[in-house]
Structure 1
Amino acid sequence: MTIRKRLSLLFTSIIALLLLAFALVIYFSFSQNREEEYYSLLHHTATTKANLLLDAKVKPDVLQLIYRNAENSLFQEEVAIYDTSFHLLYHDAVDIDKVKETKEMIDEIVNKKQIRFYQGSLQVVGFLYHHKQKDYVITAAANDASGYSKLNNLKLTLIFAFFAAIGFVYMAGEFLASKVLQPVSDLVKEVEEITATNLDLRVGEGNGKDEIAELAITFNAMLNRLERSFDAQKEFVSNISHELRTPLTAMLTELQVTVEKGRDNQFYKDSINHAITDAQKLVRLSNSLLDLAKANYDHTEISFKEIRLDEVLLDARNDVLHNHPGYKINIVFEQEIEDDDFISVKGNEYLLRVAFMNLIENGCKFSEKHELSVAISYLPDKTILRFQDHGIGIGEEELGKIFTAFYRGQNKKFTEGNGIGLSLTQKIIELHQGDIAVYSQLHQGTTFTIELPHV
């Protein structure tokens, strides 16, 4: 079932319930008023006959004659008058006797002053009537044919009006639902035109204020992310192909040249060393790609725990020195650490160690003395790490590109690399809700500043 159909049915159902409640209130209110008015009419008629009998001294047979000759004698009120001892003083039609009064009924009327009840289709009222220091018991009964006829007409009118109104409400619901969902239909048509080959298309955002516009804005934002992701993927695959092709081609060429004809042992050793060097490049590249993939995981897929940044930094320093014994790495605490919380964050130890190692290795390998200083300080809400070297520096025109995957600037002439380290580091820091900034001057050095929030 379509949303439009569900909206129409829901709207119709709600209105139907309201109309039904309204109709029931009218019907039962009219029914109750009819009942009360007819009881009052019976009371008034019975009192009038009692006054004619007791005050005007009209003879009972005259009153009975009037009763029998009335046009609506079948439905008119039948009145009976008793004294409190159950002696019948007057009856409109003893032979008919619709009520069939009993001694118990008369006693109940005397005790309660008035009773009302139904006897079949008849309404019956009995009341105590005080006249000239004497009490009388009067009963009156009749069938409110006219009232029931009006009530039945009202019921038929309400039923007809109810179903007619439901029909109109349903058509109105269909019209309103189609109008309300028209922007959604337009949105669906626009979305159907968007494919992987034209992700640059966007859907209309309407007035930019209602819920449909909010949906369109959110969808366009998703398309922006998808487009960037597709572009990044294309660039990523292209760069990987290029990075893998170079060492593989070199290895293949070296090995082909080696097997073409016999060589001396030194030549074979040199060829093997060259192949080992190219293989090491591939290993470093594959490790970097794996780390980059881990940094791109969903936040929920990475385990986070409370860790001390100084301990992670020392582990990163030791790992770098193990791989490059000639590097010199100085760690400076600019403030006294009075509380572990000042340098503690909630994060992933492995990824942070990879990020720190990348910055340390970059600083050392682009410095003539292979030396780097790491300063640690903190503020009430975050820990600050500064990685500072005095190397070749980065040109101003390249600073905005250094965090792009596989990008290598002019410094590629100075030392080898694959251009993944800084991009990976930025992703790791962002994953930890932190910030990374860089300041550099050519031939004077570079400083990377990392800010990570406390636990």
Structure 2
Amino acid sequence: MKLRKRLTILSSITFGVIFLIASTIIYGLFYKTNETSVIKNLKKTALVTGIYYLEKDEQSLQEHNNIRREFENLISRDDIAVFDEFDEVAYGKMVNDSVIRPFDLNQVRKKKEHVINTRNDFYYGLYYADNQGDFVVFVKENKDVFNTLMNRLLYILVIVLVLGLFIIYLLSRFLGNMAYEPIQKIIDQVRQKEIDRLNEPIRLQQSYSEIQELVETYNDLMAKASETFVIQKNFINYVSHEFRTPLAAISGSLEVFSQKDRTPEEYQEVASRSIERVKELEEILNNMLLLSGAINSKDFMFFRIDEIIWNIVEEVTVSLKAHIHVDFKVENVGLLSVKGNEKQLQLALYNLIENGLKYSENKPLSISLSEKENKLHLVIKDEGIGIDENDLPYIQQTFYRGKNVGDIKGSGIGLSLASTIFKIHQIDFKIITSNQGTEIHLQFNPPLF
């Protein structure tokens, strides 16, 4: 069953149940109110009847005439019975009424009043003590008017229930369609998506905040999924291209080398070249494993960022014979202590420094740490070839390499890996470049984890 239909049915059932409960309460209260009003009038009639019949000897003629007029206006004598102490009708014409039993007369004498409610009539009995004796006055009123009022009320409630259910059903369908419309638009857009267009966001011109939140969450998920597909696609292309060269070189060298006997020096040369190619493959695989695992790694702790920089500077100075100028201007030493994954950040900074040296032919490189607005800022500046303006939007994508790198070796992984690591650590990452060099700006924000 569709959600819209289910909501419509549930809304109608809910309205019906609530209305039935409310109608029962209304009907019961109205019935009780009318019954009380009728009994009150019958009580007044019974009292006037008792006075008219039993107090005649104690009243003046004028008083008796006034009572008689009121009595005649209230009730017919056919609906009156005044019983004496022997349960005989002393006054009135309601004789041999099968509804009034000795039990009812005794109830009146015991409780001073008694009500009998039959299908067609109301009876009210009143105990009346007089100097002539103790009497029981019973008066009756037909329920035709009462039943007519109650039936009309019942008809009205039934009609309102039926109309209400019909209106609620239509309104629920309308509101359900209106509420479901943005969801249907989302479904239509998702159905039209192709695997190579997952990064295109779903767009809704106007929607509810909950639906908009769902759309934004879906768009974020699809953007990440699209990035994953791009990485996978690039990985296949990269493996097929980059791995083929060192593997072909190793295979070719071994095939040529195996055709005849070689000198120990030739053995050594081929082994060295093969080891170099294998190390190249190993480095590529290690970077790929780091890139794939960096997103899920959350092993964070506090460490000193300046110590990492000094370690990197010492390593590249020895291995690459580089010239690096380091300038630290941080008064608040506490800013140097950052929270994150030390190995990941060290790898990211190493890649940036190594790229700066590699693409500047080992020209001097400068690293500066400063404090701005109580935040730690790191700038890595080289004097290399820079990044082409057209390449800048794509340079952080995995396996992407600028068009101006020439014959400089590289895999296109280092900058992408560094960008991913900085994103995990909430570190703002900015690249400023020209044909005279590149500046990498990093801002370390307070940890959010």
TM-score, scaled relative to structure 1: 0.76
CA distance in 2, matches of 1:400, 1:103: 104
CA distance in 2, matches of 1:381, 1:79: 103
The yes-or-no answer on 1:271 pairing with 2:270 is yes
CA distance in 2, matches of 1:246, 1:226: 30
**Aligned partner (choices 306, 309, 312) of residue 310 of structure 1:** 306
2:31 is matched with 31
Closer/same/farther in 2, CA of residues 77 and 429 from structure 1, 3 Å limit: farther
Q: Which amino acid aligns with 2:241?
A: H
Q: What secondary structure sits across from 1:373 in the alignment?
A: strand
Q: Which moved more, 1:329-338 or 1:142-151?
A: 142-151
CA distance in 1, matches of 2:223, 2:361: 43
Q: What secondary structure sits across from 2:330 in the alignment?
A: coil
The yes-or-no answer on 1:256 pairing with 2:255 is yes
2:330 is matched with 335
Does the 8 Å contact 1:127/1:138 carry over to 2?
yes
Q: What secondary structure sits across from 1:447 in the alignment?
A: strand
CA distance in 2, matches of 1:123, 1:370: 117
2:409 is matched with 416
Shift of 1:350: 1.6
Q: What secondary structure sits across from 1:48 in the alignment?
A: helix
Cα deviation per residue 1:16-52 (whole Å; 9 max; x = unaligned)? 1342244224311321122122112212321332343
The yes-or-no answer on 1:13 pairing with 2:13 is yes
Closer/same/farther in 2, CA of residues 99 and 13 from structure 1, 3 Å limit: farther
Q: Which amino acid aligns with 1:403?
A: Q
Percent identity over the alignment is 25
Closer/same/farther in 2, CA of residues 185 and 389 from structure 1, 3 Å limit: closer
Closer/same/farther in 2, CA of residues 152 and 102 from structure 1, 3 Å limit: closer
Q: Which amino acid aligns with 1:150?
A: T
Closer/same/farther in 2, CA of residues 388 and 87 from structure 1, 3 Å limit: same
When the two chains are superposed, the root-mean-square deviation of aligned CA atoms in Å is 4.3
CA distance in 2, matches of 1:157, 1:42: 28
CA distance in 2, matches of 1:78, 1:319: 122
Does the 8 Å contact 1:434/1:453 carry over to 2?
yes
CA distance in 1, matches of 2:317, 2:125: 111
Shift of 1:237: 2.4
Structure-to-structure mapping, 1:66-215, within 5 angstroms? 76-80=79-83, 90=90, 92=92, 98=101, 100=103, 106=109, 109=112, 117=115, 123-124=123-124, 126=126, 139-140=137-138, 142=140, 145-146=143-144, 149-150=147-148, 153-154=151-152, 157=155, 160-161=158-159, 164-165=162-163, 168-169=166-167, 171-172=169-170, 175-176=173-174, 179-180=177-178, 181-182=180-181, 184-185=183-184, 187-196=186-195, 199=198, 205=204, 207-210=205-208, 214=212
1:376 is matched with 369
Q: What secondary structure sits across from 1:448 in the alignment?
A: strand
Q: Which moved more, 1:423-432 or 1:90-99?
A: 90-99
CA distance in 2, matches of 1:450, 1:250: 40
Shift of 1:438: 2.5
1:43 is matched with 43
Does the 8 Å contact 2:82/2:89 carry over to 1?
no
Q: What secondary structure sits across from 1:336 in the alignment?
A: coil
Closer/same/farther in 2, CA of residues 315 and 49 from structure 1, 3 Å limit: same
1:112 is matched with none
Closer/same/farther in 2, CA of residues 254 and 382 from structure 1, 3 Å limit: same
Closer/same/farther in 2, CA of residues 141 and 325 from structure 1, 3 Å limit: same
2:382 is matched with 389
Does the 8 Å contact 1:8/1:177 carry over to 2?
no
Closer/same/farther in 2, CA of residues 429 and 185 from structure 1, 3 Å limit: closer
Q: Report how many aligned residue pairs link the two structures.
A: 428
Does the 8 Å contact 1:368/1:391 carry over to 2?
yes
CA distance in 2, matches of 1:104, 1:120: 17
Shift of 1:143: 6.6
Q: What secondary structure sits across from 1:260 in the alignment?
A: coil
Cα deviation per residue 1:239-265 (whole Å; 9 max; x = unaligned)? 332121221122112212111222222
Q: Which amino acid aligns with 2:275?
A: I
Does the 8 Å contact 2:365/2:381 carry over to 1?
yes
TM-score, scaled relative to structure 2: 0.77
Shift of 1:194: 3.2
CA distance in 2, matches of 1:144, 1:104: 22
The yes-or-no answer on 1:446 pairing with 2:444 is no
The yes-or-no answer on 1:402 pairing with 2:395 is yes
CA distance in 2, matches of 1:120, 1:172: 43
Give unmatched runs, 5+ long, in structure 1: 110-114
Cα deviation per residue 1:104-123 (whole Å; 9 max; x = unaligned)? 965764xxxxx565578765
Shift of 1:279: 1.1
Does the 8 Å contact 2:352/2:415 carry over to 1?
yes
Q: What secondary structure sits across from 1:10 in the alignment?
A: helix
Does the 8 Å contact 1:19/1:162 carry over to 2?
no
Does the 8 Å contact 1:378/1:384 carry over to 2?
yes
Closer/same/farther in 2, CA of residues 192 and 314 from structure 1, 3 Å limit: same
Does the 8 Å contact 2:46/2:139 carry over to 1?
no
Shift of 1:90: 5.0
Closer/same/farther in 2, CA of residues 433 and 203 from structure 1, 3 Å limit: closer
Shift of 1:428: 1.0
Q: What secondary structure sits across from 2:401 in the alignment?
A: coil
Closer/same/farther in 2, CA of residues 80 and 353 from structure 1, 3 Å limit: farther
Closer/same/farther in 2, CA of residues 87 and 406 from structure 1, 3 Å limit: closer
Shift of 1:9: 1.5
Does the 8 Å contact 2:126/2:136 carry over to 1?
yes
Q: What secondary structure sits across from 1:42 in the alignment?
A: helix
Closer/same/farther in 2, CA of residues 257 and 271 from structure 1, 3 Å limit: same
CA distance in 2, matches of 1:400, 1:167: 60
CA distance in 1, matches of 2:386, 2:177: 62
CA distance in 1, matches of 2:345, 2:132: 109
Shift of 1:397: 5.1
CA distance in 2, matches of 1:302, 1:335: 28
Shift of 1:399: 4.2
